[in-house]
Structure 1
Amino acid sequence: MTLPRPKFITFDCYGTLTNFDMAGAARRVYGERLSPKAMACLVEAFRGYRLDEVLGPWKPLREVVHNSVERSCKRIGIQFKPEDAQRIYDEVPTWGPHPDVPAGLSRVAKEIPLVILSNSMNDLIMSNVEKLGAPFHTVITAEEVGAYKPLMKGFEYMLDKLGCGPEDITHVSSSFRYDLMTAYDLGIKSKVWVNRGHEPANPFYGYAEIPDISGLPGVFGL
Protein backbone atom coordinates (compact mmCIF):
# COMPACT_ATOMS: atom_id res chain seq x y z
CA MET A 1 0.00 0.00 0.00
CA THR A 2 1.29 3.44 -0.95
CA LEU A 3 0.09 6.39 1.12
CA PRO A 4 -0.01 10.07 0.11
CA ARG A 5 2.78 12.15 1.59
CA PRO A 6 1.56 13.81 4.79
CA LYS A 7 2.66 17.11 6.27
CA PHE A 8 4.18 15.16 9.18
CA ILE A 9 4.96 11.56 10.01
CA THR A 10 4.27 11.02 13.70
CA PHE A 11 5.73 8.12 15.64
CA ASP A 12 5.41 6.15 18.79
CA CYS A 13 8.97 5.86 20.10
CA TYR A 14 9.21 3.10 22.71
CA GLY A 15 8.77 -0.26 21.03
CA THR A 16 8.33 1.13 17.54
CA LEU A 17 11.66 2.94 17.14
CA THR A 18 13.50 2.29 20.41
CA ASN A 19 13.99 -1.31 21.45
CA PHE A 20 11.98 -0.82 24.63
CA ASP A 21 13.17 -3.82 26.60
CA MET A 22 11.04 -3.78 29.74
CA ALA A 23 10.68 -7.56 29.63
CA GLY A 24 14.44 -7.99 29.31
CA ALA A 25 15.06 -5.57 32.17
CA ALA A 26 12.67 -7.52 34.39
CA ARG A 27 14.46 -10.74 33.50
CA ARG A 28 17.83 -9.19 34.30
CA VAL A 29 16.56 -8.15 37.75
CA TYR A 30 14.50 -11.21 38.66
CA GLY A 31 15.77 -13.99 36.43
CA GLU A 32 18.06 -15.64 38.99
CA ARG A 33 15.34 -15.59 41.65
CA LEU A 34 12.48 -17.13 39.69
CA SER A 35 11.75 -20.31 37.81
CA PRO A 36 11.21 -19.91 34.05
CA LYS A 37 7.46 -20.34 34.56
CA ALA A 38 7.30 -17.72 37.32
CA MET A 39 9.48 -15.36 35.29
CA ALA A 40 7.12 -15.63 32.31
CA CYS A 41 4.16 -14.89 34.61
CA LEU A 42 5.90 -11.82 36.04
CA VAL A 43 6.76 -10.44 32.59
CA GLU A 44 3.18 -10.86 31.39
CA ALA A 45 1.75 -9.29 34.54
CA PHE A 46 4.21 -6.39 34.26
CA ARG A 47 3.08 -5.74 30.68
CA GLY A 48 -0.58 -5.60 31.68
CA TYR A 49 -0.11 -3.49 34.78
CA ARG A 50 1.90 -0.87 32.87
CA LEU A 51 -1.08 -0.32 30.59
CA ASP A 52 -3.44 -0.16 33.54
CA GLU A 53 -1.24 2.37 35.33
CA VAL A 54 -1.09 4.80 32.41
CA LEU A 55 -4.89 4.79 32.09
CA GLY A 56 -5.24 6.31 35.56
CA PRO A 57 -4.44 9.84 36.78
CA TRP A 58 -1.17 11.29 35.52
CA LYS A 59 1.93 10.18 37.40
CA PRO A 60 5.64 10.19 36.46
CA LEU A 61 6.89 7.20 34.52
CA ARG A 62 9.06 6.22 37.48
CA GLU A 63 5.85 5.67 39.48
CA VAL A 64 4.24 3.78 36.60
CA VAL A 65 7.15 1.34 36.61
CA HIS A 66 7.31 1.15 40.42
CA ASN A 67 3.59 0.44 40.78
CA SER A 68 3.55 -2.05 37.91
CA VAL A 69 6.46 -4.01 39.35
CA GLU A 70 4.94 -3.96 42.84
CA ARG A 71 1.58 -5.22 41.58
CA SER A 72 3.29 -7.90 39.48
CA CYS A 73 5.26 -9.16 42.48
CA LYS A 74 2.11 -9.33 44.57
CA ARG A 75 0.31 -11.23 41.82
CA ILE A 76 2.92 -13.99 41.60
CA GLY A 77 3.64 -14.01 45.33
CA ILE A 78 7.20 -12.70 45.65
CA GLN A 79 8.68 -9.93 47.76
CA PHE A 80 8.73 -6.46 46.18
CA LYS A 81 11.77 -4.26 46.68
CA PRO A 82 11.65 -0.64 45.46
CA GLU A 83 15.27 -0.82 44.34
CA ASP A 84 14.35 -3.55 41.86
CA ALA A 85 11.81 -1.29 40.16
CA GLN A 86 14.38 1.51 40.14
CA ARG A 87 16.90 -0.74 38.38
CA ILE A 88 14.38 -1.41 35.62
CA TYR A 89 13.53 2.28 35.27
CA ASP A 90 17.20 3.27 35.14
CA GLU A 91 17.67 1.15 32.03
CA VAL A 92 15.19 3.19 29.95
CA PRO A 93 17.51 5.99 28.75
CA THR A 94 20.20 3.44 27.79
CA TRP A 95 18.06 1.70 25.18
CA GLY A 96 18.83 2.34 21.52
CA PRO A 97 16.93 1.75 18.29
CA HIS A 98 15.93 -1.46 16.62
CA PRO A 99 18.63 -2.20 14.00
CA ASP A 100 16.36 -1.27 11.07
CA VAL A 101 15.51 2.18 12.38
CA PRO A 102 18.39 4.60 11.58
CA ALA A 103 18.59 3.91 7.84
CA GLY A 104 14.83 3.92 7.28
CA LEU A 105 14.25 7.05 9.33
CA SER A 106 17.07 9.01 7.74
CA ARG A 107 15.60 8.39 4.27
CA VAL A 108 12.14 9.68 5.11
CA ALA A 109 13.49 12.58 7.19
CA LYS A 110 14.97 14.05 4.02
CA GLU A 111 11.47 14.45 2.56
CA ILE A 112 8.94 14.67 5.42
CA PRO A 113 9.25 16.18 8.94
CA LEU A 114 9.29 13.57 11.70
CA VAL A 115 7.52 13.90 15.05
CA ILE A 116 7.56 11.73 18.18
CA LEU A 117 4.67 11.36 20.63
CA SER A 118 6.06 9.23 23.44
CA ASN A 119 4.95 7.86 26.80
CA SER A 120 8.15 9.21 28.28
CA MET A 121 9.55 11.90 30.52
CA ASN A 122 11.34 15.07 29.47
CA ASP A 123 14.58 14.00 31.16
CA LEU A 124 14.56 10.54 29.54
CA ILE A 125 13.43 10.85 25.96
CA MET A 126 16.27 12.75 24.32
CA SER A 127 18.78 10.07 25.32
CA ASN A 128 16.69 7.62 23.30
CA VAL A 129 15.99 10.02 20.42
CA GLU A 130 19.66 10.89 19.98
CA LYS A 131 20.36 7.22 19.25
CA LEU A 132 17.77 6.98 16.44
CA GLY A 133 20.00 8.40 13.73
CA ALA A 134 17.65 10.97 12.21
CA PRO A 135 16.52 14.55 12.93
CA PHE A 136 13.10 15.15 14.47
CA HIS A 137 10.97 18.24 13.94
CA THR A 138 9.20 17.88 17.29
CA VAL A 139 9.39 15.52 20.28
CA ILE A 140 6.43 15.44 22.66
CA THR A 141 6.36 13.50 25.91
CA ALA A 142 3.55 12.30 28.14
CA GLU A 143 5.02 14.54 30.83
CA GLU A 144 4.56 17.57 28.59
CA VAL A 145 0.99 16.56 27.80
CA GLY A 146 0.05 15.44 31.31
CA ALA A 147 -1.38 12.17 29.99
CA TYR A 148 -0.19 8.90 28.52
CA LYS A 149 -1.30 7.12 25.40
CA PRO A 150 -3.72 5.46 24.70
CA LEU A 151 -5.65 8.44 26.10
CA MET A 152 -6.63 10.89 23.36
CA LYS A 153 -5.18 13.96 25.06
CA GLY A 154 -1.66 13.41 23.73
CA PHE A 155 -2.78 13.12 20.13
CA GLU A 156 -4.97 16.21 20.45
CA TYR A 157 -2.10 18.14 22.02
CA MET A 158 0.22 17.04 19.22
CA LEU A 159 -2.16 18.16 16.48
CA ASP A 160 -2.62 21.53 18.16
CA LYS A 161 1.14 21.98 18.57
CA LEU A 162 1.76 21.09 14.92
CA GLY A 163 -1.09 23.33 13.77
CA CYS A 164 -2.67 20.64 11.65
CA GLY A 165 -5.58 18.21 11.57
CA PRO A 166 -5.90 14.42 11.58
CA GLU A 167 -5.88 14.44 7.77
CA ASP A 168 -2.39 16.00 7.70
CA ILE A 169 -0.41 13.26 9.45
CA THR A 170 0.53 9.62 9.12
CA HIS A 171 0.91 7.92 12.49
CA VAL A 172 3.37 5.04 12.81
CA SER A 173 3.35 2.52 15.64
CA SER A 174 3.91 -1.13 16.50
CA SER A 175 0.97 -1.07 18.94
CA PHE A 176 -2.77 -1.02 18.37
CA ARG A 177 -3.58 -0.76 22.08
CA TYR A 178 -1.41 2.27 22.77
CA ASP A 179 -1.58 4.12 19.44
CA LEU A 180 -3.45 2.89 16.41
CA MET A 181 -6.85 2.34 18.02
CA THR A 182 -6.77 5.86 19.44
CA ALA A 183 -5.57 7.27 16.10
CA TYR A 184 -8.51 5.53 14.42
CA ASP A 185 -10.99 6.97 16.93
CA LEU A 186 -9.59 10.48 16.32
CA GLY A 187 -10.06 10.22 12.56
CA ILE A 188 -6.40 9.74 11.63
CA LYS A 189 -6.92 7.71 8.48
CA SER A 190 -3.29 7.42 7.38
CA LYS A 191 -1.64 4.89 9.68
CA VAL A 192 1.30 2.49 9.48
CA TRP A 193 1.58 -0.61 11.64
CA VAL A 194 5.13 -1.82 12.23
CA ASN A 195 4.65 -5.53 12.80
CA ARG A 196 7.27 -6.27 15.46
CA GLY A 197 5.27 -9.19 16.83
CA HIS A 198 3.99 -7.26 19.85
CA GLU A 199 0.33 -7.71 18.93
CA PRO A 200 -1.70 -9.57 16.29
CA ALA A 201 -2.87 -7.86 13.12
CA ASN A 202 -6.23 -6.10 13.28
CA PRO A 203 -7.28 -4.97 9.78
CA PHE A 204 -10.41 -3.25 11.10
CA TYR A 205 -8.30 -0.24 12.04
CA GLY A 206 -7.07 0.42 8.49
CA TYR A 207 -3.32 0.77 8.01
CA ALA A 208 -0.34 0.00 5.82
CA GLU A 209 1.72 -2.83 7.32
CA ILE A 210 5.51 -3.00 7.27
CA PRO A 211 7.81 -5.50 9.02
CA ASP A 212 10.19 -2.79 10.23
CA ILE A 213 11.19 0.82 9.58
CA SER A 214 13.27 -0.12 6.54
CA GLY A 215 9.93 -0.48 4.76
CA LEU A 216 8.70 3.00 5.66
CA PRO A 217 10.22 4.91 2.70
CA GLY A 218 8.39 2.61 0.30
CA VAL A 219 5.06 3.44 1.95
CA PHE A 220 5.47 6.98 0.61
CA GLY A 221 7.15 6.04 -2.66
CA LEU A 222 10.52 7.37 -1.54
Structure 2
Amino acid sequence: MSLFKPRYITFDCYGTLINFEMANAARALYADRVAAEDMKAFTDAFAAYRLDEILGAWKPYEQVVDNAIRRTCKRCNVEYREGDGKSIYEQVPTWGPHPDTSAGLAKVAKEFPLVGLSNAATAQIPHNIERIGVPFHAVYTAEQAQAYKPRMQAFEYMLDQLGCAPQDILHVSSSFRYDLMTAHDLGIKNKVWVNRGHEPANPYYNYTEIKDIGGLAAVVGL
Protein backbone atom coordinates (compact mmCIF):
# COMPACT_ATOMS: atom_id res chain seq x y z
CA MET A 1 0.00 0.00 0.00
CA SER A 2 1.39 3.42 -0.93
CA LEU A 3 1.80 5.89 1.91
CA PHE A 4 -1.61 7.18 2.99
CA LYS A 5 -2.45 9.83 5.58
CA PRO A 6 -5.98 9.04 6.78
CA ARG A 7 -8.35 11.42 8.51
CA TYR A 8 -9.01 8.64 11.02
CA ILE A 9 -7.49 5.28 11.82
CA THR A 10 -10.36 2.96 12.69
CA PHE A 11 -10.03 -0.32 14.53
CA ASP A 12 -11.78 -3.52 15.33
CA CYS A 13 -11.38 -3.87 19.09
CA TYR A 14 -11.94 -7.42 20.36
CA GLY A 15 -9.26 -9.69 18.95
CA THR A 16 -7.34 -6.90 17.21
CA LEU A 17 -6.57 -4.59 20.13
CA ILE A 18 -8.10 -6.47 23.07
CA ASN A 19 -7.10 -10.02 23.90
CA PHE A 20 -10.41 -11.72 23.11
CA GLU A 21 -10.70 -14.47 25.69
CA MET A 22 -14.13 -15.88 24.86
CA ALA A 23 -12.73 -19.34 24.10
CA ASN A 24 -10.71 -19.35 27.32
CA ALA A 25 -13.80 -18.37 29.29
CA ALA A 26 -15.73 -21.27 27.75
CA ARG A 27 -12.86 -23.69 28.39
CA ALA A 28 -12.77 -22.77 32.06
CA LEU A 29 -16.54 -22.94 32.50
CA TYR A 30 -16.99 -26.26 30.70
CA ALA A 31 -13.84 -28.03 31.86
CA ASP A 32 -15.98 -30.34 33.98
CA ARG A 33 -18.38 -31.12 31.14
CA VAL A 34 -16.24 -31.32 27.99
CA ALA A 35 -13.36 -33.74 27.60
CA ALA A 36 -9.98 -32.16 26.88
CA GLU A 37 -9.76 -33.82 23.47
CA ASP A 38 -13.18 -32.39 22.52
CA MET A 39 -12.63 -28.85 23.78
CA LYS A 40 -11.29 -27.32 20.56
CA ALA A 41 -14.30 -28.56 18.60
CA PHE A 42 -16.53 -27.12 21.34
CA THR A 43 -14.92 -23.66 21.32
CA ASP A 44 -14.79 -23.62 17.50
CA ALA A 45 -18.53 -24.30 17.42
CA PHE A 46 -19.08 -21.54 19.98
CA ALA A 47 -17.23 -19.08 17.73
CA ALA A 48 -19.24 -20.17 14.69
CA TYR A 49 -22.55 -19.76 16.47
CA ARG A 50 -21.59 -16.28 17.74
CA LEU A 51 -21.02 -15.23 14.14
CA ASP A 52 -24.32 -16.75 13.08
CA GLU A 53 -26.15 -14.98 15.90
CA ILE A 54 -25.07 -11.50 14.78
CA LEU A 55 -25.99 -11.76 11.11
CA GLY A 56 -29.64 -10.87 11.57
CA ALA A 57 -31.43 -8.07 13.38
CA TRP A 58 -29.56 -6.54 16.30
CA LYS A 59 -30.07 -8.02 19.74
CA PRO A 60 -28.16 -7.40 22.98
CA TYR A 61 -24.69 -8.91 23.10
CA GLU A 62 -25.53 -10.84 26.26
CA GLN A 63 -28.24 -12.59 24.25
CA VAL A 64 -25.80 -13.28 21.41
CA VAL A 65 -23.39 -15.00 23.79
CA ASP A 66 -26.12 -16.91 25.61
CA ASN A 67 -27.82 -18.13 22.43
CA ALA A 68 -24.48 -19.18 20.96
CA ILE A 69 -23.38 -21.20 23.97
CA ARG A 70 -26.81 -22.85 24.26
CA ARG A 71 -26.65 -23.90 20.59
CA THR A 72 -23.09 -25.12 21.06
CA CYS A 73 -24.10 -27.29 24.00
CA LYS A 74 -27.01 -28.73 22.04
CA ARG A 75 -24.81 -29.55 19.05
CA CYS A 76 -22.08 -31.10 21.19
CA ASN A 77 -24.46 -32.91 23.56
CA VAL A 78 -23.14 -31.00 26.57
CA GLU A 79 -25.19 -29.91 29.57
CA TYR A 80 -26.10 -26.21 29.54
CA ARG A 81 -26.69 -24.74 32.98
CA GLU A 82 -28.81 -21.66 33.43
CA GLY A 83 -26.58 -18.63 33.72
CA ASP A 84 -23.67 -20.06 31.70
CA GLY A 85 -24.02 -17.45 28.97
CA LYS A 86 -24.29 -14.60 31.45
CA SER A 87 -21.19 -15.86 33.27
CA ILE A 88 -19.14 -15.69 30.06
CA TYR A 89 -20.63 -12.34 29.02
CA GLU A 90 -19.81 -10.70 32.35
CA GLN A 91 -16.12 -11.49 31.90
CA VAL A 92 -15.83 -9.38 28.72
CA PRO A 93 -15.11 -5.98 30.34
CA THR A 94 -12.26 -7.49 32.38
CA TRP A 95 -10.19 -8.31 29.28
CA GLY A 96 -7.15 -6.18 28.57
CA PRO A 97 -5.07 -5.35 25.50
CA HIS A 98 -2.58 -7.54 23.67
CA PRO A 99 0.98 -6.84 24.88
CA ASP A 100 1.81 -4.85 21.72
CA THR A 101 -1.35 -2.73 21.62
CA SER A 102 -0.68 0.18 23.97
CA ALA A 103 2.81 1.03 22.78
CA GLY A 104 1.82 0.58 19.13
CA LEU A 105 -1.19 2.86 19.41
CA ALA A 106 0.74 5.48 21.36
CA LYS A 107 3.01 5.95 18.34
CA VAL A 108 0.17 6.79 15.97
CA ALA A 109 -2.22 8.54 18.39
CA LYS A 110 -0.01 11.63 18.38
CA GLU A 111 -0.67 12.15 14.67
CA PHE A 112 -4.04 10.55 13.91
CA PRO A 113 -7.43 10.35 15.67
CA LEU A 114 -8.13 6.76 16.73
CA VAL A 115 -11.64 5.32 16.39
CA GLY A 116 -12.99 1.97 17.56
CA LEU A 117 -15.81 0.05 15.89
CA SER A 118 -16.75 -2.86 18.09
CA ASN A 119 -19.30 -5.64 18.29
CA ALA A 120 -19.58 -4.69 21.93
CA ALA A 121 -22.19 -3.71 24.42
CA THR A 122 -21.97 0.04 24.94
CA ALA A 123 -21.67 -0.46 28.70
CA GLN A 124 -18.76 -2.89 28.38
CA ILE A 125 -16.30 -1.53 25.81
CA PRO A 126 -15.18 1.57 27.82
CA HIS A 127 -13.65 -0.76 30.42
CA ASN A 128 -11.59 -2.53 27.74
CA ILE A 129 -10.52 0.71 26.05
CA GLU A 130 -9.51 2.23 29.38
CA ARG A 131 -7.09 -0.65 29.92
CA ILE A 132 -5.26 0.29 26.71
CA GLY A 133 -4.30 3.65 28.20
CA VAL A 134 -4.27 5.54 24.89
CA PRO A 135 -6.86 8.24 24.04
CA PHE A 136 -9.49 7.46 21.39
CA HIS A 137 -11.38 10.08 19.42
CA ALA A 138 -14.50 7.86 19.55
CA VAL A 139 -15.59 4.27 20.06
CA TYR A 140 -18.77 3.13 18.31
CA THR A 141 -20.61 -0.06 19.13
CA ALA A 142 -22.97 -2.47 17.47
CA GLU A 143 -25.54 -1.45 20.05
CA GLN A 144 -25.37 2.16 18.87
CA ALA A 145 -25.42 1.15 15.20
CA GLN A 146 -28.16 -1.44 15.85
CA ALA A 147 -26.13 -3.84 13.71
CA TYR A 148 -23.12 -6.06 14.25
CA LYS A 149 -20.14 -6.38 11.96
CA PRO A 150 -19.80 -7.84 9.38
CA ARG A 151 -23.04 -6.09 8.38
CA MET A 152 -22.45 -2.93 6.36
CA GLN A 153 -24.81 -0.97 8.60
CA ALA A 154 -22.25 -0.98 11.41
CA PHE A 155 -19.56 0.55 9.19
CA GLU A 156 -22.00 3.02 7.65
CA TYR A 157 -22.99 4.19 11.12
CA MET A 158 -19.36 4.88 11.97
CA LEU A 159 -18.74 6.77 8.74
CA ASP A 160 -21.88 8.84 9.26
CA GLN A 161 -20.85 9.72 12.81
CA LEU A 162 -17.39 10.74 11.65
CA GLY A 163 -18.74 12.66 8.67
CA CYS A 164 -16.29 11.06 6.30
CA ALA A 165 -16.16 8.76 3.29
CA PRO A 166 -14.68 5.27 2.94
CA GLN A 167 -11.59 6.68 1.23
CA ASP A 168 -10.84 8.91 4.23
CA ILE A 169 -10.05 6.15 6.72
CA LEU A 170 -7.53 3.41 7.35
CA HIS A 171 -9.27 0.39 8.88
CA VAL A 172 -7.29 -2.06 11.01
CA SER A 173 -8.44 -5.55 11.96
CA SER A 174 -7.23 -9.07 12.63
CA SER A 175 -10.34 -10.55 10.99
CA PHE A 176 -11.42 -10.85 7.38
CA ARG A 177 -14.85 -12.31 8.17
CA TYR A 178 -15.86 -9.60 10.62
CA ASP A 179 -14.13 -6.55 9.15
CA LEU A 180 -11.91 -6.60 6.11
CA MET A 181 -14.30 -8.31 3.68
CA THR A 182 -17.03 -5.79 4.45
CA ALA A 183 -14.56 -2.91 4.37
CA HIS A 184 -13.55 -4.06 0.89
CA ASP A 185 -17.16 -4.23 -0.25
CA LEU A 186 -17.82 -0.71 1.07
CA GLY A 187 -14.91 0.77 -0.85
CA ILE A 188 -12.54 1.20 2.10
CA LYS A 189 -9.37 0.81 0.07
CA ASN A 190 -6.88 1.39 2.85
CA LYS A 191 -6.85 -1.62 5.15
CA VAL A 192 -4.40 -3.24 7.53
CA TRP A 193 -4.55 -6.88 8.55
CA VAL A 194 -3.00 -7.65 11.92
CA ASN A 195 -1.96 -11.26 11.54
CA ARG A 196 -2.70 -12.66 14.98
CA GLY A 197 -3.25 -16.15 13.63
CA HIS A 198 -7.05 -16.02 13.82
CA GLU A 199 -7.59 -16.52 10.09
CA PRO A 200 -5.47 -17.36 7.04
CA ALA A 201 -4.23 -14.65 4.70
CA ASN A 202 -6.48 -13.68 1.79
CA PRO A 203 -4.64 -11.31 -0.58
CA TYR A 204 -7.78 -10.75 -2.68
CA TYR A 205 -8.85 -8.09 -0.16
CA ASN A 206 -5.81 -5.88 -0.86
CA TYR A 207 -4.44 -4.96 2.55
CA THR A 208 -1.14 -4.29 4.24
CA GLU A 209 -0.13 -7.05 6.66
CA ILE A 210 1.51 -6.39 10.01
CA LYS A 211 2.32 -8.90 12.72
CA ASP A 212 1.21 -6.66 15.58
CA ILE A 213 0.11 -3.09 16.33
CA GLY A 214 3.75 -2.07 16.64
CA GLY A 215 3.95 -2.25 12.85
CA LEU A 216 1.18 0.29 12.27
CA ALA A 217 3.34 3.40 12.59
CA ALA A 218 5.42 2.42 9.56
CA VAL A 219 2.26 1.97 7.48
CA VAL A 220 1.40 5.65 7.95
CA GLY A 221 4.96 6.89 7.62
CA LEU A 222 5.85 7.42 11.27
Q: TM-score range by the shorter chain?
A: over 0.9
Q: TM-score, normalised by structure 2?
A: 0.98
The separation in 2 between residues aligned to 1:82 and 1:179, in whole angstroms, is: 32
Q: Are the aligned partners of 2:33 and 2:78 in contact in 1 as well (CA < 8 Å)? A: no
Gaps of 5+ in 2: none
Q: Are the aligned partners of 1:10 and 1:172 in contact in 2 as well (CA < 8 Å)? A: yes
How much is the aligned-residue C-alpha RMSD, in angstroms? 0.9
Match of 1:185 in 2: 185
Gaps of 5+ in 1: none
Q: Deviations over 1:148-175 (max 9, x none)?
A: 0000001111111111101100000000
Report the CA distance shift for 1:99/1:2 in structure 2 as closer, same or farther (over 3 A): farther
Q: Deviations over 1:66-102 (max 9, x none)?
A: 0000000000101111322111111100000000000
Q: Are the aligned partners of 1:6 and 1:169 in contact in 2 as well (CA < 8 Å)? A: yes
- Percent identity of paired positions between Structure 1 and Structure 2: 61
SS of residue matched to 2:91: helix
Q: Give the paired residue count.
A: 222
1:216 aligns with 2:220: no
Q: Deviations over 1:109-166 (max 9, x none)?
A: 0000000000001110100010112100011000000000000001111111111101
The separation in 1 between residues aligned to 2:33 and 2:79, in whole angstroms, is: 11
The separation in 2 between residues aligned to 1:82 and 1:212, in whole angstroms, is: 38
Post-superposition, which runs of at least 4 consecutive aligned residues in structure 1 deviate over 3 A?
Answer: none
Corresponding letter in the other structure for 2:137 = H
Corresponding letter in the other structure for 1:107 = K
Match of 2:153 in 1: 153
Q: Kindly state the Cα deviation for residue 26 of structure 1 after the two structures are TM-superposed.
A: 0.4
Match of 1:79 in 2: 79
Match of 1:163 in 2: 163
Q: Deviations over 1:32-88 (max 9, x none)?
A: 322112212210100100000000221000000000000000001011113221111
Q: How does 1:65-144 map to 2 (within 5 A)?
A: 65-144=65-144
Corresponding letter in the other structure for 2:68 = S
SS of residue matched to 1:87: helix
The separation in 2 between residues aligned to 1:130 and 1:162, in whole angstroms, is: 21
